[in-house]
Amino acid sequence: MKKIKFAVLFFIIAQTGILYSQTTPEQIFSKGLEAFYGANFQEGIKYFSEYIISAPTDFRGYNYRGLCNQSMKNYQSSIEDFTSAINLSKNNSEGFINRGNSYLMLGNFTSAITDFSDAIKFDPNNIEGYTGRARVYTQQGKYSNALSDLNSAIGVDPKNPRIYLSKAWIHILNNDTTKIQEDISLAMYYDSNIVFTDSKRELLYVKIDNYKNVLSIMNDRVNKFPGSYLSYFSRGVVYFLMNKYSNSVSDLKKSLGLYTGNDQEFKNLVNQILRSIKRNS
């Protein structure tokens, strides 16, 4: 009987070993991607760490582990991972863009500018290098530099609505009403839905944090200028981009109520956004 039990135990151990050995590095990587896209970042880190052991020269393992860390706001750890990814693939712009975003979130503007500039150098057709550097310039108050980068991004992708929205945000900071309307109108023209699903998933969580920062600024503006239609309109657009539709509708209707001008284009734009919200709700 003991011999039979030992034989069965040996068979189970052997089969388990065979099954484990059949888990290829690519299967591990795929599980990591599944975890990352499912927002299970801690699980993603586990799989990508395992993948790095089995494929130490593939930059993707470090890059996606860095994205998991970045999404969890472990920015320093993400920088270390992105640095490893860059060292393994020096001409790949994604590593520089991702590390630049982490530097930006830490307020290290100098390093962020350097990384976004390198990303542009290695891949001038990747708009994220331009838009990333524009975000840094915007936070530094260098609006003309930011607009220049965003115009370069438009040269690469002239129908991308989010670039026009980024330009509109700079015009909001400058209180340039006419240009705000122009750029938001263009964004709505190229994509009247403009929802987060249109964003590149790898950069989604960084962009969400960016909108939260923008919202904080707009809340201050509304509190400071409660009678300004532009403050409510601008915050309503931010809520719209964050898919907070009820807040957006409230602010947009408030802006219409406060508006005393004769610009029918402004009213048409607000109503266009309201119709888009109704379709997406």
Residues 83-96 pLDDT 10s: 999 999 999 999 99
Res 236: pLDDT = 93
pLDDT attached to residue 203: 62
Quick check: 108 pLDDT over 60?
A: yes
Fold (CATH) for 13-123? 1.25.40
Encode pLDDT of 177-232 as tens digits: 889 889 989 988 887 666 544 556 556 666 667 778 788 888 999 999 999 999 99
Please compute the mean of the pLDDT values over residues 235-257 and round it to a whole number. 92
Asked whether 41 and 77 are in contact (CB, 8 A), the reply is no
pLDDT band, residue 22 (cuts 50/70/90) = low
Three-state SS letters, the chain:
CHHHHHHHHHHHHHHHHHHHHCCCHHHHHHHHHHHHHCCCHHHHHHHHHHHHHHCCCCHHHHHHHHHHHHHCCCHHHHHHHHHHHHHHCCCCHHHHHHHHHHHHHCCCHHHHHHHHHHHHHHCCCCHHHHHHHHHHHHHCCCHHHHHHHHHHHHHHCCCCHHHHHHHHHHHHHCCCHHHHHHHHHHHHHHCCCCCHHHCCHHHHHHHHHHHHHHHHHHHHHHHHCCCCHHHHHHHHHHHHHCCCHHHHHHHHHHHHHHCCCCCHHHHHHHHHHHHHHHHHC
Q: Residue 15: pLDDT band by 50, 70, 90 thresholds?
A: very low
Q: Sorting pLDDT into bands at 50, 70 and 90, what band is 173?
A: confident
pLDDT at 196: 46
pLDDT at residue 11 is higher than 80:
no
Higher pLDDT, 29 or 241: 29
pTM: 0.81
Higher pLDDT, 204 or 245: 245
pLDDT band per the 50, 70, 90 thresholds, residue 75: very high
pLDDT at 148: 98
Q: What is the pLDDT of residue 16?
A: 47
Q: What is the pLDDT of residue 117?
A: 98
Give 49 or 279, the one with higher predicted confidence.
49
Q: What is the pLDDT of residue 276?
A: 87
Highest mean pLDDT among 109-118, 134-143, 173-182: 109-118
Q: What is the pLDDT of residue 280?
A: 79
Does the structure show a pLDDT above 70 at 7? no
What ranges do the domains of the chain cover? 13-123
Average pLDDT over residues 234-244: 87
